[in-house]
A = this chain, B = another copy of it.
């Protein structure tokens, strides 16, 4: 039972919903902080959006900081590294990564 696989699976689960992907795109497109505008943008109830934000926060993909009456959400893409590494391992099984020429060809 790999502990690492559980962590990676949790990260993948955090990304496994269109509304959460949408939220991440919004955060990416917003230079500063954004609060309740998220609710309007995703078109779901406030409580539902709050739950999605909680899931993303628990996974570490975003951070939330209290800023007056609002909350400042920000991306924390570094948390996705284990998942990105896993996908990279699958995608480039025996070849070198981007921009690095092959050493040997597979017969």
Interface centre among A13, A15, A78 (most CB of B within 10 A): A15
Q: Is the interface of A mostly helix, strand, loop or mixed?
A: helix
Q: In the assembled complex, which residues on chain B have CB atoms less than 8 Å from the CB atom of A2?
A: 18, 21-22
Please provide the chain A residues from 17 to 33 with a CB less than 8 Å away from any CB of chain B in the complex.
Answer: 17-18, 20-22, 24-25, 28
Number of residues of chain A lying within 8 A (CB) of chain B: 36
A43 — nearest CB in chain B belongs to which residue?
A: B1
A8 — nearest CB in chain B belongs to which residue?
A: B21
Query: Whole-angstrom distance from the CB of A85 to the nearest CB of chain B?
Result: 10
- How many copies of this chain are found per oligomer? 2
- A9 and B16: CB pair below 8 A? yes
Complex Cα–Cα for A25 and B2 (A): 11
Is A50 among interface residues, defined by CB-CB distance under 8 A?
A: no
Is A38 among interface residues, defined by CB-CB distance under 8 A?
A: no
Q: In the assembled complex, which residues on chain B have CB atoms less than 8 Å from the CB atom of A72?
A: none
Given contacts A9-B16, A21-B8, contact A84 B84 (CB under 8 A): yes
